[in-house]
Structure 1
Amino acid sequence: MTKEPANDSHTLIMQLKERLKREQDLRRDAERDAAQVRDRFQRERLKLQAITDIAATHEHEEPLRWASHIALATLTRQTCWCHCRAYYFPFEAQGRSQAFATTDGHASPLDHESTLLTPSALEWLDSNEPLTLYQDRLTQRPCGTTEPNWPESLPRRCLYTIGLDGEGFGGFELFGWQEDEDPDFSNELMQSLARELAHIYKSERDRHSMEQMAYQDPLTGLGNRAAFFRDLDNLATQQQRLALVYIDIDGFREINDECGHDIGDLYLCRIAMRLCDEPHRLSVSRLGSDEFMVLLSLEASPQPALELAEALLQRLRQPIVIEDHLIEPGISAGLAIYPDDANTVHTLFYAADLAIYRAHESGGNTLRRFDADIANSTKERKQLAQQVRQAVNSDEFETWFQPIIGADRRIVGAEALLRWTAPQAPGPAEFVPVLERQGLMRSVGYQTLARVMARAAQWRREGLHFEHISVNVSPAQLREPVFVDQVATLLRETGLPAYCLILEITESLFISAERPVLGRLANLRRMGVKLALDDFGTGYSSLGYLQWMPLDILKIDKSFVARLDGEPARRDITIVRAIIRIARACGLSVVAEGIETEVVARRLVSLGAHYLQGYHFSRPVAETAMRALLREHKPSGKQR
């Protein structure tokens, strides 16, 4: 028996409906999945675009500011949060925090005084908890009535940390009207943006630290030499009148020696603080150990630059008490004005440098303004320096000799003296300092020493009698590690006995008391070379040298000898007698130099001087004349 057609049709229709429903469900699921994929793709595209835009800010002058604006604008456009702030900890404790805000996609910097995060947000940032970055953290809190800094009528808030590797750099504070329809996307977007901003922040902080090291003096916190020239360049391009005061602290080395380096460092910091209190300052820098640079604005000041600088130095010279030490600062300074004294920054610095050089020449603890006299003398010094270099290249320097006389009035030796033989050439008092400043004294001094030792050895071979030959040695030569070896080589090559060579050392070398130099002097004495202290009595603590310096001979400065002419005061005779007695008691021979009369010669012999030297016996003479003098005084006995 067959089924009725109506029932079969009904079943078929029901099956088709079920199939259609399944297909519709599958299609909806596919469309939902496709929509989710599109949404996911759109999310990734938005995040990638924001990250790309943020990464591009690395080349901007203010990358953190612009990266923050991009991040905040992205959040206001793509999430429910319609008002956003970003807040960063300062790069250093003394720095100012940075804050940015965005409303409705328009980014703008915030005024520091009025845009600090809400009190609870600041408390959250300052606590230990947000210093760890939680990648999945999203904190929402209802608006409270005790936080008036919130944007008005925005009931919802979100806080999110900006940081890396457990270190918090700052945070987002976001406000909105309504619930977040897609908190997962908002969280992902904030995570990505916070991570990129953290990288920018860290890069900027590292760059800031490097700049601080490059431009900041680590002791005083002032700008260093590089910062000074940077500021000078920037100010000069503004075409404003300014004064440069080059400051040097007198006697700073003595303060370090007497009080210790810790006190010396605190002393420098106190000076730096006083310089920073100058109301007209544009820039303050520490140029070197005890040198400072101050740029003063002359635009708004009714006082002349010289008065401003004098007032500044008066404040610096006020006594300073550090622990148990009372220090009365001595300040030397050079002043130069832009553009009056110089039309470029480098010539301005050079002008101030020349001015402070003159201040030191005047005895220190004074202020000197750059003027025409300094400019003219500088031009003359440049010309002299050029002439000296040319003279060295042309071998225009010669060695002359001044006899040294014994108490029996016979020649016992000679002092070798450098002379510039060109017409109208200056004397040694002028050209020797130039040789030292130009760094030429090492080569000239060695050539002179070699020439003198060769001549002295030749005279001995000729049978000309003398006990010793004296040669002046500059501090620059003694600072050379090879100097002792050079002397030993010359003694060996020339055949001159070591006991015939006297090296004359200036008292300034002993004042510095450099340990390597003292070691070289001791080595020279062990070789048999004799050492003489020249110009005794002109230094700070001459008597102290006789206790511990390796010396054989003491030369009394001519300033003491000159006072013995005519009718000398009892005090002058007493001083010279005391010097000679002390030298003899220390086992030193005494040479009195600068003798110009027979009366002075006799008095010095009676006071106990061993040797005499001066114009009364002979002026410095050339080598041929010195050989003739030695022949005249040739003894009948055999030379030792």
Structure 2
Amino acid sequence: MQDPGSTPRILVAEDDTGIRAVLKATLRSAGYVVYEARNGSEALGLAIEHLPDLILSDVLMPGGDGQTLLAALRADARTSELPFVFLTGLDERQAVRDGMNLGADDYLTKPFRPTELLSLVQAQLRRSAKRIEARRQLEAEAQKLREFDSITGLPNRGHFLGRIAREQASGPVHALASIALGQLPVLRQSLGQAPADAVMREAANRLLDSARQHLGSEALLARSGEHRFALSLRGEQDEARIEARLREVLAPLAEPMEAGGRRLFLDASVGVAVSPRDGDSPEALLDHAETAEPATAPGGTVAFYSAENSAVRGRRVRLLQDLRIALERGELGLAYQPQVALAGERLVGFEALLRWHHPELGQVAPAEFIPLAEESGLILPIGSWVLAEAARQLGEWQAEGLAVPRVAVNLSPRQFEDPGLLDGVRAVLAGSGLPPGALELEVTESAALLDPERAIGLMARLREMGVALALDDFGTGYSNLSQLKRLPVDVLKIDQLFVRQIVRDPGDAAIVSAVVTLAHGFGLKVVAEGVEGQAQVIKLAQLGCDICQGYHYGAPLAASAVPGWMQERGFA
């Protein structure tokens, strides 16, 4: 079928020479192009050759009737949607009904007046034009869905790489940047999909406007992943200039935005690959830019690809793959670090710390594999196992007569957001038979204050079960005192960042003193982490700290080593 605006073409299949001549003359006088066929066989060949805009066919014809013609047309993908109208005598109604069932669009009874014929033709052509336009719109929408992101409206990864390949043909695109919004997965967990999509959309709008302002109207920005954007910097090879221009583009992300009724601040970590040094193809450049993207550095970091960070990325990929089966293979274990009350040197309990002994790589540092577990969601089954294993071990120690009052377990941000957390804790307490208060859950300050109202309700229900609650890493997160006083916690844990130099740094001592005073004012106990020497113990005691944890009292111990350590220290 031709494009709208061209002269419509009509195929006439009619065995009666006189009627065919009248049809041809009438249609040509109205400005149509006409093809003639004496039977269905000839008409089928002409239809396939010319793809007319309309077919008018007699029902009964020697050498191939109209019904056979219609069935053949509808069975061929090239002609299946061609408009088809039967020309029929008064005594051929059954044949017409059969034809309509085969997919005819209409019929015209002979004899007919020229005005009837032309009116029918015009109606069919209008209907066909509407179908063609609707199909084109659907095809355009489908093409847009294939090449553009439905949330941000930006080109997707495939469209971006295709554009870069075409641009390289006319001149090199020297640098590609991968921009990651590291907080987005956590926001999706806490706020839900719709607010997270709104954040991504707002970030895309800001980045696009900024890129056009600082890089020109031809700047190409795309959504390249769940929380990633890709950006091309045409003609740039100098690292210092690339970094400066990227920081200009990224600046609007530092402005606050609203989502889910909350005020949020975003930042981005950026990886950059430069052509031809880091690869020639767009795919290689973008892959290398994502490899260079800092995984653990603070937001706002711009890092360039190198073989070294590629090796780091390779190790991360392997660790993530191996971590998926580490739990079932028994490679994960717990170590227990003592917590000692300063008043009377009394054992308060142990904090259970996750460890991974890889069969080939040896001990993998928690700082390396726990973020991977958090990002991938593996932290949920792993965290459930940690909770159950720590409770089981404490129950075993108490059954053996060891005076271990409590075990503390860290909850990751994802665990704290998990709707199944309460049921999981309830099942662990029921299965272990631990007395109330024997289990302490540690929640980071940042996780608890991300959504204070939810945190308050969740913590209250945990305390109703008899679980003790500690606020971990205090002072490194939000430090929102107006919300802090509402959280139903029992313990504040001061991060080792403030403890390490407490003897020599009056500023750190002042911070610890203020935290202790604040906590005691709320009726909370204070635990200082990272205590490594007697001088720190003395200083913390002077400042009123309640409990110390660190290498001064003992490194994290295997469960089997705990009884011996307790006996040696006089805690047994």
Query: TM-score normalized by structure 1?
Result: 0.62
Residues 546 and 586, structure 1, Cα contact 8 Å, conserved in 2:
no
Question: d(CA) in 2 for partners of 1:318 and 1:634?
Answer: 58
SS of 2:327 mapped into structure 1: helix
Alpha-carbon distance change, 219 to 414 in structure 1, aligned in 2, over 3 angstroms: closer
Give 1:48 shift: 8.5
| 1:316 maps to 2:299 | no
Question: d(CA) in 1 for partners of 2:297 and 2:402?
Answer: 47
| 1:536 maps to 2:474 | yes
1:375 maps to amino acid:
S
Give the match for residue 92 of structure 2: none
Give the match for residue 526 of structure 2: 590
Residues 510 and 545, structure 1, Cα contact 8 Å, conserved in 2:
no
Tell me the alpha carbon deviations over residues 563-606 of structure 1, each in whole angstroms, 9 at most, x when there is no partner: 223x442x332211110010011111111122122222122122
Question: d(CA) in 2 for partners of 1:324 and 1:411?
Answer: 47
Residues 527 and 545, structure 2, Cα contact 8 Å, conserved in 1:
yes
2:468 maps to amino acid:
K
| 1:441 maps to 2:345 | no
2:209 maps to amino acid:
M
Tell me the alpha carbon deviations over residues 16-51 of structure 1, each in whole angstroms, 9 at most, x when there is no partner: xxxxxxxxxxxxxxxxx97466322666792799x9
Q: 2:316 aligns with which of 376, 381, 387?
A: 381
Q: 2:415 aligns with which of 477, 498, 502?
A: 477
Residues 276 and 284, structure 1, Cα contact 8 Å, conserved in 2:
no
2:522 maps to amino acid:
C
Give the match for residue 354 of structure 1: 291
- Identity across the alignment (%): 30
Question: d(CA) in 1 for partners of 2:251 and 2:332?
Answer: 50
Question: d(CA) in 2 for partners of 1:574 and 1:389?
Answer: 44
1:304 maps to amino acid:
Q
Give 1:204 shift: 0.7
Q: Which runs of 5+ in 1 are unaligned?
A: 1-32, 58-65, 73-181
1:456 maps to amino acid:
L
Residues 319 and 329, structure 1, Cα contact 8 Å, conserved in 2:
no
Q: 2:351 aligns with which of 405, 415, 435?
A: 415
Give the match for residue 269 of structure 1: 205
Give the match for residue 366 of structure 2: 428
Matches within 5 A, 1:232-251: 243-248=175-180
Question: d(CA) in 2 for partners of 1:321 and 1:415?
Answer: 37
Question: d(CA) in 1 for partners of 2:294 and 2:449?
Answer: 21
Alpha-carbon distance change, 320 to 475 in structure 1, aligned in 2, over 3 angstroms: closer
SS of 1:415 mapped into structure 2: strand
Alpha-carbon distance change, 274 to 428 in structure 1, aligned in 2, over 3 angstroms: closer
Give 1:247 shift: 3.1
Alpha-carbon distance change, 308 to 615 in structure 1, aligned in 2, over 3 angstroms: closer
Give 1:408 shift: 0.7
Residues 535 and 556, structure 1, Cα contact 8 Å, conserved in 2:
yes
Give 1:613 shift: 1.6
Give the match for residue 10 of structure 1: none
Residues 446 and 478, structure 2, Cα contact 8 Å, conserved in 1:
no
Q: 2:331 aligns with which of 396, 413, 424?
A: 396
2:444 maps to amino acid:
T
SS of 1:304 mapped into structure 2: coil
Question: d(CA) in 1 for partners of 2:518 and 2:245?
Answer: 47
Residues 317 and 328, structure 1, Cα contact 8 Å, conserved in 2:
no
SS of 1:481 mapped into structure 2: coil
Question: d(CA) in 1 for partners of 2:439 and 2:313?
Answer: 39
| 1:228 maps to 2:165 | no
Question: d(CA) in 2 for partners of 1:515 and 1:335?
Answer: 40
Q: Cα RMSD (Å) of the superposition? A: 4.5
Matches within 5 A, 1:620-631: 620-631=556-567
Alpha-carbon distance change, 555 to 245 in structure 1, aligned in 2, over 3 angstroms: same
Give the match for residue 392 of structure 2: 454
Matches within 5 A, 1:72-221: 192-217=124-149, 221=153
Alpha-carbon distance change, 42 to 337 in structure 1, aligned in 2, over 3 angstroms: farther
Q: 1:559 aligns with which of 486, 489, 497?
A: 497
Rg larger in 1 or in 2? 1
2:495 maps to amino acid:
D
| 1:493 maps to 2:481 | no
**How many residue pairs were aligned?**
471
Query: TM-score normalized by structure 2?
Result: 0.68
Tell me the alpha carbon deviations over residues 260-316 of structure 1, each in whole angstroms, 9 at most, x when there is no partner: 99999667434323434644847432346874322355xxx4x52647744643552
Tell me the alpha carbon deviations over residues 538-557 of structure 1, each in whole angstroms, 9 at most, x when there is no partner: 11325355222231111111
SS of 2:531 mapped into structure 1: coil
Tell me the alpha carbon deviations over residues 302-346 of structure 1, each in whole angstroms, 9 at most, x when there is no partner: x52647744643552567999999x99966432224564346654
Single out whichever of 304-313 and 479-488 deviates more from structure 2.
Answer: 304-313
Q: Which runs of 5+ in 2 are unaligned?
A: 1-15, 28-32, 38-42, 55-113, 259-263
1:534 maps to amino acid:
D
Give 1:622 shift: 2.1
| 1:465 maps to 2:403 | yes
SS of 2:229 mapped into structure 1: strand
